[in-house]
Amino acid sequence: MYKLKQYITALLIMIFLTGLQKTMAQVKVHVMSRKINKSINWKPGMTFWLTGERAEIFCATHQKNTIDFEIEIISKNEDRKTAEADLDKMKLVDQVSGKKVSLRNYVELNRGESKPESDLKVIYHVKVPENCKVFISNYFGKTRVIALKSSLTINSKFSPVKLQNIAGNITINSNFGDISIDSIYGTVTLQTTRSDISIRNFSGLLDIHSDYATILLSKINNLTKAAIHADKSNINLNTGDYNRYSYFISTTDSKIIKPDKMHPDIFKEEKTKTQLHFNAKTNKPQITIELNMGIITIEN
């Protein structure tokens, strides 16, 4: 009897899912779009500011002295007229003011108009001179920057950030958006909440302040100094050879996992607090970690 009930239940679920798929297949979504291309002359010392909302931002460099952008605005809705009307509500503005070039998208409503009902998205493909300073703010989207050789500042909420092949000063403030960094040389400062962090092929100075995160450092080439201050997080250090660095670790309510061959100069455990010092009296690059509630794993 029990097996029969299971069979009947499974059969009913299959029938329901089949009907649901057919219903969904019958729903037609209208996709409306508008494209914009523009080029702005750039001179040394000029900065570029991009503010996006529900935006996919792809920023790269080129050898020209221009800031070029290709933008596509997309509106999706089951009703064609609604999709068209909502597409017109998404506005773009670009402006040159002194040495500042700014670009942003926003929703504009005329008197009596309702908020957009469609799924709106803006896709930016931007190319800047490699020495151009870039400032990006993005909400409910995603951001990718490659090959920049200047300073980069990103403010991100609910948006993943991916950086690759960048040399310079990098500052990222992120809430609810994972961060992936690969092949970076310079000074990196991260302030995050509920954003996992992955850093590999890094050279330079690193400063991380993070809450509720998984932090992974791997393939560290030429680390000058690193400081990690984290709360309710897990930290994994895979540097290739732990003995290349000095460590000053202080934790509360946390666990430290280290290689068996790693013999600390100081290892103190007092109630909920733990201190670990390794290679403390050397001139090796220093890694300082302060962790409250989490796990630190140091790999070979």
For residues 273 and 250, is the Cβ–Cβ distance under 8 A? yes
Q: Which residue has the higher pLDDT, 23 or 111?
A: 111
For residues 188 and 207, is the Cβ–Cβ distance under 8 A? yes
Residue located via tokens 């000058």: 224
The pLDDT tens digits of the residues spanning 229-251 come to 999 999 999 988 899 999 999 99
- What is the pLDDT, as a whole number, of residue 14? 57
Classify 272 as helix, strand or coil. coil
Q: Is the pLDDT of residue 166 over 60?
A: yes
Residue 170 Cα distances to 114, 164, 188, angstroms: 39, 12, 5
Residue located via tokens 């929703």: 107
The pLDDT tens digits of the residues spanning 56-69 come to 999 999 999 999 99
Q: Which residue has the higher pLDDT, 227 or 25?
A: 227
Positive or negative torsion for Cα 63, 153, 87, 96: negative
Helix, strand, coil share (%) of the chain residues, nearest 5 = 15, 60, 25
- What is the pLDDT, as a whole number, of residue 19? 54
Instruction: Give the mean pLDDT of 21-32.
Output: 71
For residues 296 and 289, is the Cβ–Cβ distance under 8 A? yes
The pLDDT tens digits of the residues spanning 172-227 come to 999 999 999 999 999 999 999 999 999 999 999 999 999 999 999 998 878 999 99
The pLDDT tens digits of the residues spanning 74-96 come to 999 999 999 999 999 999 999 99
Burial, 49: exposed, middle or buried (Cβ in 10 Å; 0-12, 13-18, 19+)? Answer: middle
pTM, rounded to two decimals: 0.88
Degrees to nearest 5, angle at CA 120 with 119 and 124: 145
Q: Is the pLDDT of residue 101 over 60?
A: yes
Residue located via tokens 């499974």: 10
- What is the pLDDT, as a whole number, of residue 21? 56
Phi, psi of 111 (to 5 degrees): -60, 125
11: Cα separation from own chain's centroid: 43
